[in-house]
Amino acid sequence: MTNVIKISHKLFNPNYYHLRDAMANENIRFIYLIGGSSSAKSHSVAQSIILDTLQSGDNTIVLRKVGSSIKNSIYEDFKQIINNLNLTGCFRCYQNIIRCYNGAKIDFSGLDDSEKIKGISNYKRVILEELTEFELYDQKQIRKRLRGRKGQQIISMFNPISEKHWIKTEVFDKENLTEAPNHLYPNVKDVFSGKVLNEEYTRVAAKWVNSERTVYNPRTQSYDRHPADTVIIKSTYLNNFWVVGSPDGTYGYYDRQTIADFEKDKERDYDYYRIYALGEWGSIKTGGEFWYAFDPSKHKGKIEYNNNLPVHVTIDNNVLPYISIAIWQSYYKDGVYHDVQIYEIAAREPFNSVTKAAELTAKYLLDIGHTDKVFLYGDQTTKASNTIDDEKRSFFDKFREKIEESFVVEERIPNKNPSVSMSGEFVNAIYAGAINNIKISINEKCLESIDDYILTKKDINGGILKKRIKNRLTGQTYEEHGHFSDTKRYLITQLHSDLYTKFSLRRKHNHTQEDDIMYYDKSKIEAGEYRVEINLDKNNIFSAAKYFVKDKKVYICDVLFTEGLYDTKNLAGFMADCTACEMELNPKYKWYLFELRTLVKMPVIGKKESTDFKKRISAHTDNVRTNFYFPPDYDYSEEFSRFFNNYLDYDGDKSCEAVNILCQVCESEMRKGNLRNNV
């Protein structure tokens, strides 16, 4: 068998060339491939390792955090790439192991238990797929265990899902990184023609290397120069020729569906788009979020302290993982209350005592030159007497006394804590725009708070899920999320106590409560034919519901809920997978109906606008409540969240638009005999 293998550059993406370049540099210890999905990170790693195994005879181990996920993920990529490279004669694939004819092997394993790390010193390279699933402890152990051979490397791939993840805070942020050229021109050639490939064939989104440093050599008792040992390669779907096509247009594939899907994310869930399309740091929603209407792309920004306003300090007294202190300001402009979080203090050990936390707060206020009043908010239980304190002062009293050494303080603790579920609904309604005279925003530098607002989950009663975790080093257990979320609830409900009371009473008196909503498991319900029901203009609100009917039940899949008429081309895209559409409209909008019919292939039936929609709602609300099911992850979309708030706010007069379109669906399906009347 010849030792020279020539493979066309038309099989590779830019990631491959940068990875091979880093693998050839024995000074490089850590290689990180970061970026969006569909950027060919895993594919390029598999190509590089397969060819390196064939050429060098070195062993590699590929790890995922959970072993059961190996077989159907990167292991299959390796097998497929061996076929694509016509190397089936050189490799044999067994259960979670690939052997090369030269004696080298590629092992695949899970790291369910960090003890499995022992013994990896026999490998030249360790591949960590989905690095975000690993713990910092895992990576530290791998670094220590991989030793004794020259040029050993750890190659990691991941999507940057959270700015608070240890990869960023404990690795990237602690390195002195400099930007490197993001292409390899003129160092890569066509192996057959010898022609140098242009920049775009090797261009990735970005590339960084760390700086060299000085280390002490205990053997020689002198200081040595330690060269750069880390390279970070960032890529996006735009660097994948099997998504956007090759630079010369002669190979690869232009994937219209994938690109259209990214564009949909850009419109509906920009933070998801930032992470999975652009490969930027952020946090994603996974469903069941307590703050389901909070959208970082819309509700965070650059917010500075205003020295003409008082500050509102709201605290949560849990000491683990930290004492939470959020600092806000509020002002009224053009008929709208603007509540802005300007700063946060996560008082961790050794500052997680009431005195130290209060000192940090006072220092911040003094440092920014604040001289106005300070309003204090918090949990009613923080005012309970403390038997440990000689004077039986409460947590809140001790905090307040420290702040009063420098500022005039006004206490705003309620006599009774607000309902967790109701206060959450109130704030979500503000975020979703259902309460249009209050706006909430947060300084983009408040990373702990933003992370908490995204990751805090809802429990089965609509409250905050208080999930406890255990610190592996200290053995201490604590509630991981929800602390800054609590500070926000305390503040907003007190700051707008009158509006909150009205909101609570209205929700309590509604015919449909949040507990009445029924959800369906997408993995267990096989969808039928999708249909669309549209109401063109109810109180200047365009509403549409996409659904399917199964076993006399209606399953709502998606909604549109916007002010004014929805663009017909975008509506046609929303309806693309549907088989039928009915639309209720005023005769003045016939042109809209005709225009839509030219854009879609399905029948679009126009219906006269209801003469008495309140009577229809009264007749069908109970049927909707007992026969309609909604997706549990509806809160991925601000539009769907706004729809839900409108549905729950209907009081027989106001906020009728969402319940109207649902009753319109109910009426249509009952008329066809597809839905039984349970009233």
Burial readout 421-445 (b: 16 or more C-beta within 10 A, e: otherwise): bbbbbbbbbbbbbbbeebbbbbbee
* Residues β-bridged to residue 314: 326, 377
Of 290, 285, 353, 295, which is closest to residue 484 (Cα–Cα)? 290
CA end-to-end span of the chain, whole Å?
Answer: 79
The pLDDT, as a whole number, for residue 105 is 96
- The span from the CA of 636 to the CA of 293, in Å, is 8
The per-residue pLDDT for range 592-626, each reduced to its tens digit, is 999 999 999 899 999 998 888 888 998 898 889 88
Closest to 408 in 3D by CA, of 506, 301, 310? 310
- Cα 139 to Cα 129, 166, 529, 563: the distances in Å are 12, 10, 48, 50
pTM for this prediction = 0.60
Strand partners for 442:
300, 341
User: How many CA atoms, within 13 angstroms, populate the side-chain half-sphere of residue 359?
Assistant: 7
Establish whether the linkage from the previous residue to 321 is cis, with ω within 30° of 0: yes
What band does 2 get if pLDDT is binned at 50, 70 and 90?
very low
Measure the CA–CA gap between 519 and 449, rounded to whole angstroms: 29
The predicted structure's pLDDT at residue 508:
61
pLDDT in tens, 285-318: 666 789 988 988 889 999 999 999 999 999 998 8
pLDDT per position as a tens digit, 406-437:
999 999 998 888 989 889 999 999 998 888 89
Query: What pLDDT does residue 378 have?
Result: 92
Q: Provide, rounded to the nearest whole percent, the portion of the chain with pLDDT above 90.
A: 59
What's the CA gap between 355 and 349, in Å, rounded? 13
The mean pLDDT of 441-453, rounded to a whole number, is: 92
**More reliable by pLDDT, 457 or 636:** 457
Cβ–Cβ under 8 Å, residues 610 and 584: yes
